[in-house]
Structure 1
Amino acid sequence: MDDRNLRLGGSLFTAIGDEIDGLRRGLTDLATGMVRDRTRLAITGLRRSGKTVLTTCLAHHLLEPSGLPFLSVVAENRLDATRLVPLRDLPPFPAEAAIAGLSAAEPVWPKPTDRLSGLSIEILYRTGNRIGRLIDPTRRHFIEIVDYPGEWLLDLPLLEHDFRTFSAQAMTLADRPIRQPAAAGWRALLAGLDPTAPGDAALERRLADAYSTYLHTCQEEMGLSFIQPGRFVDRTRVLDEELVTFCPLPLASGPFPPGSIGARFEARFERYRDEIVKEFYRSNFSRFDRQIVLVDLLTALNRGPDHFIDVQESIATVVRSFRYGSGSILTNWLTPRIDRLVFAATKADHIAPSQHAAMKQLLEIMVAPSSRHTRFSGAPHEVLAVAALRSTDVVRTELHGQVLSCLKGRLVETGQETVLFPGELPPDLPEPDDWNSGRFRFRDFAPRRLPRGRNGASSHIRLDQLLEAAIGDRLA
């Protein structure tokens, strides 16, 4: 049997093992009675897309639901009570501390996520179904949200790779003009390397460090999103340093000799994939019911066409890592699949309301490759322009006899309250002249104070519509 057949056989047995593992978890949930009344919501987003802010604001508004007029269970006055409860299988998401920070006299954004955590909100509500009211009028439902570092998200596609396909893809990425300067040091080390040579611990460490430096530069200095493996830019959570002591290699046609640098890197890649990525996926990502995919469209436009394409490719790659499709109640209990998702462009408060339709349309075009995949799997989707917390006010100004919609807010870069014209979005993919003209200069604003009580609806943009699209039917 050749290597290709071995890999195909291994993939088949891995897939069967994953299905058996999902069935085992589903039966356990069914036996404990926990799956009947819960929705595990995947808030999916690349680094700095706003996952932590959205999670915080969703928790706040569900706990103080007067600010959700377009969430049906609130609009129909069927919501009786909500409370924050521990999520039984994860460390707690710091919801109360994050809400307090946004509610302070001088509000601050929540700290970026650096670990896995979760929260659960218990909702006591009255069913809107006439027959259901006769049988069981008052019900409970648990909305579970998992938070995680955005870097970990791009590791999920590694489950479909072996070391050779991972190396080939990484080399292709490093050859792109935008990445070549960042990759120069690592590629220089590879130039004199013989992967079939005997293992050398010191050289292997230098290669892994050079690759990690390249990834850090791509992420921190260049703002690129497609970073693999994700733990290479945050090793603090990796207990076994050997798991991140490898890098992509130029590949020969045959297998690596036992004990060679290539063979050692290949073995470490497989351990990283199986012990870190697969376990993370099985424990968390394989169990989601609904999904919200966040996209920072404005930052992608600001940074130029290469970054825009990078974000688009990253989203499409990540979406393909999830299970989608509808099924019977029993099959969804046993092998959960995402049966509804929402793509959301964040920072809708950073542009004028008149531009929200263009923002939605541009996002629809950007995520078209991803949405085609989910539609064929039988999972419907919606697209929205949202802001979890509004950071600006809209003001009207007149310039040369023309009335303009401007924004008033405190700029992050200066700390000063400013009124400015935010610019306009194209309703279609940008043309070359759009990129070259410096058209996209969207600014970042500091947070407004998160209001408590009955003024919540004015503090966000379409957060209630986002919830209705994602989970409204579960509270019917």
Structure 2
Amino acid sequence: MQNSLSSLLDKVRSAASASGETLSDIFSKETHRFTITGLSRSGKSMLFTSLMTMLKSRSEEGYACMPLLRYLPPSQVEFMRIEPIGGYKPFPLDENMAALAEGRWPAATEEAYGFKLIVRLTQTTSIKRHVLPHTDIVFEFIDYPGEWITDIPMLGKTYAQWSDSAWAQLSSGPQQHFANEWKTVVNAFDFEQSPTQDNINELVSAYRHYLVIAKKNGISLLQPGSFLLDSSDFDWQQLGFAPLPSSITSDVSHPWYKAFESHFTAFQKDWLTPLKQSVFRETDKQIILVDLFEGLNHSRQHLYQLKETLSHLADTFVYGQTGWFARNVMRKEAIGRVAFVATKADLIPVSERENLLSLLKQVTEGARARFVDKPIQFEHFLVSAIQVTDEGGSPNALRYQDAENGYVEAAFEPIPASLKAMEADAHFPVLNTQVPQDYMARILSGRGLDRLLQFLLAEGVSNE
């Protein structure tokens, strides 16, 4: 028995040495990694800005804006500080706050960002005080573009498989209304000509134009989304590709098939694989942001497509809790807690939020089906990263600042509680709110983040 224990400790020491940590580091740290996942326009930039602002206010100014740290007795807190995470760019908080000060919303996320909040606690029991004088509790937050999320599933497909599925997607649902120009280009294109760089650029540029138009019109399932990001390191102009007619993808000897299959393979090998390994790291807690208002503003078809997209995205991540040894010694993680979050909840009256929550639960049905028979806890939340509206004169009304900086009131029709309850051609206008002048106070009074983080940290933080 003693030999077995000695052998186990040797393995622990080896694991610690290999990771550059001391044995005491392993047993004196408690790390919680939150991955914030969301499609384009889901509100990630504003949520991250608000979250970081709240944590900085709490850690640097002692402002009690979040009961997140209620688990941590003030008498035991030696210090709290925010630091960058290795391998990630620092989140552009200063730039985003400057934008808000100028009346502009933060720019969309186009790169991977990360930061961590470190809370050092003093041990209270005499034994622990001698062995481990302190405990560091680390909260890591990771944010990345939604376009990357939709691209990762392409790793599991051949070019021909992706091409066929892309044609099926753009020929059905709401996409079909924006793909006519692309289809016209393909139908008129001469595939007998050689796939020179100029000819390839002509076809790829036409397909990218479709992606741009579809994104502007609320389409969520677009691949490759990376082609839409100016910050992308993948050169789509040199190694771009597009879906080809099945008459070509069925002929593996066709010059155009060979050219696009080669580019697709380069996209997988040189871009997606390193991206998955470096950014989509193991995490134990996930926040999935969902913008229901984008669908409500367009059509019921958009909401059904959002449901399909979330279902596909659930295949990108590893779900299922791991044991203590795997987490703390072997550094292996799987997602054990998932929060589905409908953002911008302040854009509707309180009286309509039960319907919005019900709609969120239906839209996430496909994603939750991936959790069957796995030890995963999940919950649904309505969150406002910044409270941009105020109560109106009636339960179905809100007041807000409009584009002319006027303080106006808007009344709301009931929001459907289910997809079936929404008429096929119905759409619900979304308030065009501006950045309020008192944006800092409104960030600190944002709704829902407290309860969200308390759920994610339940059974997590220990000050024993």
**1:216 to partner: Cα distance:** 0.8
Q: Would you say the 8 A contact 1:72–1:472 is kept in 2?
A: no
Partners of 2:355 and 2:174 lie apart in 1 by 28
Q: Which moved further from structure 2: 324-333 or 209-218? A: 324-333
Aligned to 1:293: 288
Provide closer, same or farther for how the CA distance between residues 232 and 446 of structure 1 changes in structure 2, counting only shifts above 3 A. Answer: same
**1:293 to partner: Cα distance:** 0.3
Question: What's the CA shift string for 1:77-118, capped at 9, x where partnerless?
Answer: 86664222121212211123334544x4x6542222222222
Whose RCO is larger (CA < 8 A, sep 6+)? 1
Q: Would you say the 8 A contact 2:44–2:289 is kept in 1?
A: yes
Provide closer, same or farther for how the CA distance between residues 388 and 378 of structure 1 changes in structure 2, counting only shifts above 3 A. Answer: same
Question: What's the CA shift string for 1:126-169, capped at 9, x where partnerless?
Answer: 68999989976852222222222222221111111111110111
Provide closer, same or farther for how the CA distance between residues 379 and 176 of structure 1 changes in structure 2, counting only shifts above 3 A. Answer: same
The answer to whether structure 1 residue 379 and structure 2 residue 372 are counterparts is no
Instruction: Report how many residues are paired.
Output: 435
Q: Would you say the 8 A contact 1:38–1:141 is kept in 2?
A: yes
Partners of 1:29 and 1:116 lie apart in 2 by 26
Aligned to 2:225: 230
The answer to whether structure 1 residue 266 and structure 2 residue 261 are counterparts is yes
The answer to whether structure 1 residue 93 and structure 2 residue 86 are counterparts is no
Q: Superposition pairs for residues 27-66 of structure 1, below 5 Å?
A: 30-32=19-21, 36-65=29-58, 66=64
Report the 3-state secondary structure (helix = DSSP H, G, I; strand = E; otherwise coil) of the residue aligned with 2:210. Answer: helix
Partners of 1:341 and 1:129 lie apart in 2 by 34
Report the 3-state secondary structure (helix = DSSP H, G, I; strand = E; otherwise coil) of the residue aligned with 1:287. Answer: coil
Query: 65, 68, 71: which one pairs with 2:66?
Result: 68
Partners of 1:243 and 1:133 lie apart in 2 by 60
**1:57 to partner: Cα distance:** 1.1
The answer to whether structure 1 residue 337 and structure 2 residue 344 are counterparts is no
Match for 1:307: what amino acid?
H
Partners of 1:29 and 1:374 lie apart in 2 by 33
Partners of 1:74 and 1:331 lie apart in 2 by 25
Query: 396, 408, 429: which one pairs with 1:441?
Result: 429
Q: Would you say the 8 A contact 2:112–2:279 is kept in 1?
A: no
The answer to whether structure 1 residue 468 and structure 2 residue 458 are counterparts is no
Q: Superposition pairs for residues 416-435 of structure 1, below 5 Å?
A: 416-432=406-422, 434-435=423-424
Q: Would you say the 8 A contact 2:30–2:461 is kept in 1?
A: no
Q: Would you say the 8 A contact 2:113–2:144 is kept in 1?
A: yes
Aligned to 1:321: 316
Query: 242, 252, 256: which one pairs with 2:252?
Result: 256
Match for 2:413: what amino acid?
G
Partners of 1:350 and 1:428 lie apart in 2 by 18
**1:189 to partner: Cα distance:** 3.5
**1:308 to partner: Cα distance:** 1.0
Query: 164, 170, 174: which one pairs with 1:174?
Result: 170
Aligned to 2:12: none
Partners of 2:77 and 2:413 lie apart in 1 by 40
Report the 3-state secondary structure (helix = DSSP H, G, I; strand = E; otherwise coil) of the residue aligned with 2:106. Answer: coil
Query: 101, 108, 116: which one pairs with 1:120?
Result: 116
Partners of 2:46 and 2:115 lie apart in 1 by 14
Q: Would you say the 8 A contact 1:301–1:308 is kept in 2?
A: yes
Partners of 1:406 and 1:273 lie apart in 2 by 49
Question: What's the CA shift string for 1:305-352, capped at 9, x where partnerless?
Answer: 121122211211112211111122233344321111100011111111
Question: What's the CA shift string for 1:237-264, capped at 9, x where partnerless?
Answer: 2354466421111235755127x11011
Query: 397, 408, 421: which one pairs with 1:406?
Result: 397
Aligned to 1:351: 348
**1:178 to partner: Cα distance:** 3.3
Q: Would you say the 8 A contact 2:338–2:379 is kept in 1?
A: yes
Match for 1:92: what amino acid?
P
Q: Would you say the 8 A contact 1:83–1:121 is kept in 2?
A: yes
Question: What's the CA shift string for 1:424-473, capped at 9, x where partnerless?
Answer: 222222435x44455x2231322333446xx976x111111111122344
Report the 3-state secondary structure (helix = DSSP H, G, I; strand = E; otherwise coil) of the residue aligned with 1:342. Answer: strand
Report the 3-state secondary structure (helix = DSSP H, G, I; strand = E; otherwise coil) of the residue aligned with 2:246. Answer: coil
Match for 1:91: what amino acid?
K
Q: Aligned residues: percent identity?
A: 25
Query: 151, 154, 158: which one pairs with 2:154?
Result: 158
Match for 2:379: what amino acid?
E
Partners of 2:326 and 2:193 lie apart in 1 by 50
Partners of 1:360 and 1:352 lie apart in 2 by 13
Match for 1:85: what amino acid?
E
Partners of 2:382 and 2:129 lie apart in 1 by 35
TM-score (norm 2): 0.84
Partners of 1:77 and 1:277 lie apart in 2 by 46
Which runs of no fewer than 5 residues in structure 1 stay unpaired?
1-25, 398-403
Match for 1:320: what amino acid?
D
TM-score (norm 1): 0.82
Q: Would you say the 8 A contact 1:72–1:468 is kept in 2?
A: no
Partners of 2:126 and 2:68 lie apart in 1 by 21
Q: Would you say the 8 A contact 2:121–2:136 is kept in 1?
A: yes
Report the 3-state secondary structure (helix = DSSP H, G, I; strand = E; otherwise coil) of the residue aligned with 2:397. Answer: strand
**1:379 to partner: Cα distance:** 1.8
Provide closer, same or farther for how the CA distance between residues 307 and 351 of structure 1 changes in structure 2, counting only shifts above 3 A. Answer: same
Report the 3-state secondary structure (helix = DSSP H, G, I; strand = E; otherwise coil) of the residue aligned with 1:330. Answer: helix
Q: Superposition pairs for residues 169-208 of structure 1, below 5 Å?
A: 169-176=165-172, 178-191=174-187, 198-208=194-204
Match for 2:418: what amino acid?
D
Report the 3-state secondary structure (helix = DSSP H, G, I; strand = E; otherwise coil) of the residue aligned with 2:341. Answer: strand
Partners of 2:236 and 2:190 lie apart in 1 by 23
Aligned to 2:7: none
Partners of 2:331 and 2:192 lie apart in 1 by 45
Aligned to 2:9: none
Which runs of no fewer than 5 residues in structure 2 stay unpaired?
1-14, 59-63
Q: Would you say the 8 A contact 1:200–1:261 is kept in 2?
A: no
Provide closer, same or farther for how the CA distance between residues 174 and 63 of structure 1 changes in structure 2, counting only shifts above 3 A. Answer: same
Aligned to 2:392: 395
